[in-house]
Amino acid sequence: MYGKKENNLPYTSTTVKYNEIQSIRNGAASTVALSLTNNFFTVFAILVLGATDYQISLISSLPSIIGMCAMLPAAIYINRLERKKEFTVYTLFLTRIFLLFMVFIPFIKPSLSSWIFVALIGLMNLPGTFLNLGWQALIGDLIPDNRRNTFFGKRNKYLTFIGMVVTLLVGFCMRGVNSKSAFPYQALFFIAFLFSLVELYYLKLHKEKPVKTEKSNYQSPFSKRIFKNKPYAAFLICGLFFNFGWQMAWSLFSIYQIRYAHATAFWISLFTVSNQISQIVSYPWWAKMADKWSNRTLLVWISIGMALAPVLNILSINYGYLLFINFFSGFFVSGTVLILFNSLLEVSEEEHRTSYIANYNFLLSIVAFIAPQVGVYLLETFSMNTSMVLSTICRGLSALFFIWMGWYLKTSKEQMKEYNQQINNM
């Protein structure tokens, strides 16, 4: 048995393994749906709808500010749920139905279509915030601590492979298609919606035991107690700074590849696939290293690796070179996804995990809204090279933040140990 308890009844190893299988199947369908859409949102917006650089930055940042507004009510509601699975199922459907709405975007007046598309992407994150928070809380309950590194490493590996295959197939199918034609993208959005129904089916198959919640046990995501948790507070400072440098370049990469390198949907898919292949190869390695060393140690090396990506991208517009750089950065992207999430769970109190996750995601939403805007502002004020170099500097500085975090937590732990010894000797 894995020592996870709810209503004083443990989840057996059989139940945990069953939920892991359903989670992988659910994630596979989700990956197909998102690979058919997210990888091509920017291409569709620029080539078909004629979106501006500012609108492209909003595609990255608007979902974050909407998610921020939804975070607090989502956390309050989810904290009081006895069953998180049913709630997550409903929010999944409400989120994915926006993909169906996008099918009809090309029929709208051209002067409005790009703005409506940006608005749909933003509004989709309203139920999406409830979905993500609900899923994180649910999976945190279903998968015990001692299984997380291994399970998420394996799950991420499988899902990345599936995403790679789907993206590659879509890229080849669109190779001979007019890049400015709307129909191929409409087909992608519709097929993605169908796969989201499969995603919903496997989510419903998860086995969850109801948890009786008491009002006295509720903790607000903005409780002072959360920020007094030293491991969490240190992780929050460092994690938010890292994400600022990371997300500042998100819109810049898309703009550089499409406007500067003139990459088509086919080459964008190849760049994505190259990145995903690297992630597939490296996920098990990161999971193994996390168990051998520590999440805090790995975050330092991840920051250094991620810092190289922006400055290396601007050295050439050669497609072969960009293919290699995407492969290189994929190695550190997989580490970022796995280690950041596990680090968040590691520093969160289990009893109030949802509140910690909500607090982090709320503050992260603010960063995710500001960072792409700053990136595009630097692009328009200075140049692509300057904005990419500044992103590299920010990412590199986050390594120093994580070094400080390790030292601070080690010192705090030693001080607490000495304090407890003094108390015991009195």
Q: Report the pLDDT averaged over residues 250-275.
A: 88
pLDDT tens-digit map of 68-126: 888 778 877 887 787 888 999 999 999 999 999 999 999 998 889 999 999 999 999 99
CA-based nearest residue to 227, from 349, 70, 345: 349
Q: Report the pLDDT averaged over residues 330-334.
A: 90
> What residue segments make up the domains of the chain, in order of their start?
13-209+223-425
Identify the helix (H) or strand (E) that includes residue 87: helix 84-102
pLDDT tens-digit map of 125-144: 999 989 988 898 888 778 88
Among all chains, which residue has been given the structure tokens 């607000």? 220
Q: Which CATH number fits domain 13-209+223-425: 1.10.10.10, 1.20.1630.10, 3.30.9.10, 1.20.1250.20?
A: 1.20.1250.20
Identify the helix (H) or strand (E) that includes residue 386: helix 384-425
203 Cβ neighbours under 8 A, 6+ residues apart: 22, 26, 85, 88, 89, 92
Q: How far apart are the first and last CA of the chain?
A: 40
pLDDT surpassing 70 at residue 145: yes
3-state secondary structure of 39: helix
Q: Which of 8-22, 186-200, 287-301 has the lowest mean pLDDT?
A: 8-22
